Amino acid sequence: MSDHVRAMIEVVGLGKGFVLHAQGGVRLCVLDAIDLLVRPGECVVLDAPSGSGKSTLLRTLYGNYRVDRGHILLRHRGVPVDLATVSPRLLMEIRRETVGYASQFLRVVPRVPTIDIVAEPLCLRGVPATPARDRAAGLLDALGIPERLWGLAPATFSGGEQQRINIARALIAEHPILLLDEPTASLDAENRSRVLALLSARRTAGTAMVGIFHDDEARRAVATRIFALPKRSQAA
């Protein structure tokens, strides 16, 4: 079977720029002619200097940014779907079922208990509350979040605790595609090892991953391939 047939993500000729309205309408080209193919069980780590478009590429793969040109084909329900043309309704379905995203920052509704925040992606897919909370509890325990915190809202938690809640929330639904934006950035060595063990297990199970890792140890632990972004074009 060819790589293109097996691909979970296929990016073809992707271009993305932004208009800087505060600077007289200058246009900044951030991504240009990006081609990337990611198969099941691969963890592709993006490599480029800060400000070169790594986070922009991740957000484009999640549909937060619309592409200016090119295509992003994600395998959803067994069929390649182009994020460049999907409707908002289909995009939400893809996020529920196919693509998970672990950002650097926890953004949730205030006062919702941690265990419900983690369980929510399963509940949105129709899983009853009790088994969803049981699965959330297992992940929180595996990530070293004390049980005494599960019933509390995470607004006052440490940065490392919030980061691990993000990871649990991203992993719980076992999406076939997982996007990772510095998932170990706020963690000490012990908790970094916990996260990397879970990510490695998901990769071994066949999840296709694209991530940003500035930590060399984390890269070595999970990466199957490094993808170097081209040097960013200058504003014009």
In a domain, 202, yes or no: yes
In a domain, 60, yes or no: yes
Residue 209 has pLDDT above 70, yes or no: yes
Going by pLDDT thresholds of 50, 70 and 90, the confidence category of residue 232 is low
Q: Taking a C-beta distance cutoff of 8 angstroms, is the pair 198, 171 a contact?
A: yes
Token pair recorded at residue 195: 């996260």
Q: Taking a C-beta distance cutoff of 8 angstroms, is the pair 153, 112 a contact?
A: yes
Q: Compute the distance between CA of residue 154 and CA of residue 112 in angstroms, rounded to an integer.
A: 8
Going by pLDDT thresholds of 50, 70 and 90, the confidence category of residue 234 is very low
The CATH code of the domain that includes 154 is: 3.40.50.300
In a domain, 72, yes or no: no
In a domain, 236, yes or no: no
Question: What pLDDT is recorded for position 230?
Answer: 79
Long-range contacts: 76-85, Cβ < 8 Å, 24+? Answer: 80/7, 80/10
Torsion on CA atoms 66, 56, 72, 204, rounded to nearest 10? -140
Please name the residue ranges forming H helices in the chain.
Answer: 3-6, 54-61, 88-97, 114-123, 129-142, 159-171, 189-204, 216-222
**Which domain does 190 fall in, by range?**
39-66+87-228
Q: Taking a C-beta distance cutoff of 8 angstroms, is the pair 180, 209 a contact?
A: yes
CA angle centred on 129, ends 124 and 132, rounded to 5°: 75
In a domain, 25, yes or no: no
- pTM score, two decimals? 0.91
DSSP secondary structure, 69-134, as one string: EEEEEEEETTEEEETTT--HHHHHHHHHHTEEEE-SS----TT--HHHHHHHHHHTTT--HHHHHH
Residue with tokens 């693509």: 99
**Tally of domains in the chain:** 1
In a domain, 92, yes or no: yes
Residue 214 has pLDDT above 90, yes or no: no
In a domain, 186, yes or no: yes
Going by pLDDT thresholds of 50, 70 and 90, the confidence category of residue 190 is very high
Of residues 231 and 90, which shows the higher confidence score?
A: 90
